[in-house]
Each structure stands twice: as structure tokens, then as C-alpha cells.
Amino acid sequence: MKTDIQLQKDILDELAWDPAINATDVGVIVKDGVVTLTGHLTNYAEKYAAERAARRVSGVKALAVDIEVRLSPSYKRSDTDIAAAVKRAIDGNVAIPANGIQPMVEDGWITLSGEVEWDYQRKAAERSVRDLFGVVSVTNLVKIKPKVAPSDVEKSIHDALVRQAEQEAKQLQILVDGSRVTLRGKVHSWTELRAVQAAAWAAPGVETVVNELKVEPLIAALLPAADLVRTQRQAGVAATSANRRSSLQNRFSSMSKHHHVKTL
């Protein structure tokens, strides 16, 4: 299991490795596996990339992003210009239904509202505007129209998990309340967590996913196969040796009780 110092180093290395991020002004604080990103970047796209980079690192239990977006002069735009660019981006995306999204811009902060049928359409709208000049943040309030009964939603999510990761499906609890899905249980990595969450979002009619999953890496899974076999063999040898010593001691004890040596 990684120490906080090792985890901090791995995240800093990942940030430095990602070409989409200028990590010079980004700090990383780690306490008991909980990571906080601090500092400032020149645009929202970089901030989003930094968040994704941190999540890619194994051992991150939770993440807080406290990075300020300080737009460089070349990136600054008026809210009117940003709003016009947002409309063009949304209208030009074939994944987004016509008239399904209503954007608003205030001080470079984009808020998306409206209603669509699928989560991928909501995500497509956010992706379309995330990298625009002048954007400091994006809030996605787009809702998804309920289409099916809760029991059908639960079954479709469970079936998807069985197809993708049968073992994880057995360890999870899926609670459906209308268009709201709550996920509970344990997964072994952030990759598994994202896969489970994606399966929930892919179900028709899901508007909200409450993710209460816990990431708990398997110690055995972290060992190379050869090391794991060697460890098991060593444990077996140690147990066999202990049993032999115990058996010999019992035999000597028994002999001492039945055979007495006389001294003349």
C-alpha cells in the first residue's frame, strides 16, 4: 500500500507527464490517501485535465480540486462572446438534440440547463464548451427525462455490470428511486469505480447517480504472480516445519513418561 509521500510523488509525476497540463503552479497535498490539488492554471481545460490526471493514479481514495483558473490575457473573452461560442458549439454537435440545452454565462462561468433523453447527450454538451476561450468553470444542470420503471433501471444496470465485470456486480448494491440511482459496495480501483458508474449512467432514464462506492485495493492483486506463489509456498513450508517439531516433541515427551533411567 502506498504511503502519502509516494502517492504525492506519483501524482506530481503524472501531472508533469500529461502534455495538456502546465503543472508548474499546481501543488499536491495528501493525507491518508485523500488528495487535494492546489494552485492555479491559465484555463479551465487545464484544470479539468489535472483532475483527470490525479484520478488516474492508483491509491487515490478521494480527490478535492482547489485550483484557481487565472485566465491569461490571450484567453479572456466577454460573456457575450463566450455565450455565442457556446451556442455554436452546442448547435454543431450531432450528439446533442436541437433545443435541448439552454446555456448561461456569467463572469466566464457556464451553466448548462435543459432536458435530454440520455446521459451521453448531457456529457456531450459539457465537452463541447469545456475548452472554449474565456471559460473558467462549467456547471452541468441538464436533466434526463425518466423513461422506464425503477425495476427496469436496476435490471439494466446489473445486466451491464455482469457483462463487463461479473465479480464486481456480485459485490455491489444498486438502489433505484425514480430516476436516482445509488451505488454502494466496494471496488478494487478507480478504473472499476468509473466502469460501474458509467454502467449506471448508461441506463435509460437515469438522471442522478449517487456514488457511495469505496475503493479498496486487493493486497494479493498487487503482488506479482510469482511473488504470490512463493509467499504461499513459504507459508506452507513454515506450517509443515512447525507440525514436525510439534510431533517430535510429543514423541519425546511420551518416551520420557514410560522409560525411566535408574542411577546406581
Q: Could you give the C-alpha distances from 243 to 15, 105, 232, 235, in angstroms and in order?
A: 53, 75, 17, 12
Confidence of residue 176 (pLDDT cuts 50, 70, 90): confident
Q: Report if residue 257 sits inside a domain.
A: no
Whether 29 and 87 map to the same domain: the answer is: no
Return the pLDDT at 233.
Answer: 55
Residue 157's pLDDT is what?
A: 75
Burial class of 158 by CB neighbour count within 10 A (0 to 12, 13 to 18, 19+): middle
Average pLDDT score over the chain: 82
What is the CB neighbour count within 10 angstroms for residue 173? 10
Per-residue model confidence as pLDDT tens digits over 48-95:
999 999 999 999 999 999 999 999 888 899 999 999 999 999 999 999
What pLDDT is stored for residue 168 in this prediction? 59
Domain finish residue from 70, 88, 122:
70
Residue 196 sits in which domain range?
A: 150-215
Number of domains composing the chain = 3
- Highest mean pLDDT out of 73-82, 170-179, 197-206: 73-82
CB 143 within 8 A of CB 126: no
Q: CA–CA separation, 74 vs 11, rounded Å?
A: 29
**Over 80: is that where the pLDDT of 108 sits?**
yes
Same domain, 84 and 56: no
Same domain, 156 and 140: no
DSSP-assigned letters across all residues of 130-183:
HTSTT--EEEE--EE---S-HHHHHHHHHHHHHHH-HHHHHTEEEEEETTEEEE
193 and 165 in a common domain: yes
- Exposed (0-12), middle (13-18) or buried (19+): which is 221, by Cβ within 10 Å? exposed
pLDDT over 90 (residue 18): yes
- pTM of the full predicted structure? 0.58
In a domain, residue 161? The reply is: yes
Whether residue 61 sits in one domain with residue 11:
yes
Instruction: Give the model's pLDDT for residue 41.
Output: 95
Q: Are residues 66 and 26 in the same domain?
A: yes
Indicate if the pLDDT at residue 231 is higher than 50. no
Q: Is residue 170 part of a domain?
A: yes
Residues 118 and 166 in one domain: no
- What is the reported pLDDT for 32? 93
The residue among 115, 144, 173 that closes a domain is 144
Read off the CATH number of the domain in which 52 is found: 3.30.1340.30
243 three-state secondary structure: helix
Task: Tell me: do 180 and 123 sit in the same domain.
Answer: no
pLDDT band at 262 (very low <50, low <70, confident <90, very high): very low
